């Protein structure tokens, strides 16, 4: 929710949380990576800004083919 809230702080959007029976977790732990000496060049804020700019410029568009489930249904899969 932290990233979603950061996006809402920058653009007009509504966060909708709906129940799900999907047991997958997308949480990540970067300790092993950081222990190698890796340091990040970019932040989450940088990524949010980049996506916003690409949408505004038209370089990034909302296209039907970006929706996996919809595409699979359309293909009869």
| Residue 33: domain span | 2-12+29-74
Give domain status of residue 18, yes or no. Answer: no
For residues 59 and 57, what is the distance between their CA atoms, to the nearest angstrom? 5
pTM score:
0.69
Residue 24 lies in a domain: no
The Cα–Cα gap between 63 and 7 comes to 20
Is 50 among the domain residues? Answer: yes
Does the residue 33 lie in any domain? yes
Q: Interhelix angle for 44-57 vs 2-10, to 10°?
A: 40
Residues near 24 by beta carbon (within 8 Å), at least 6 away in sequence: none
In a domain, 38, yes or no: yes
pLDDT tens digits, one per residue of 7-51: 999 999 999 999 989 888 888 899 999 999 999 999 999 999 999
Quick check: 39 and 46 in contact, CB under 8 A?
A: no
Separation of CA 26 from chain center: 11
């Amino acid at each position: 929710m932290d990233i979603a809230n950061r996006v809402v702080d920058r653009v007009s959007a509504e966060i909708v949380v709906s129940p799900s029976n999907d047991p997958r977790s997308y949480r990540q732990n970067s300790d092993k990576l950081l222990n190698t000496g890796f340091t990040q060049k970019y932040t989450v804020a940088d990524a949010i800004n980049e996506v916003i700019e690409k949408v505004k410029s038209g370089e990034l568009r909302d296209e039907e083919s970006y929706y996996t489930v919809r595409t699979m249904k359309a293909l009869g899969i």
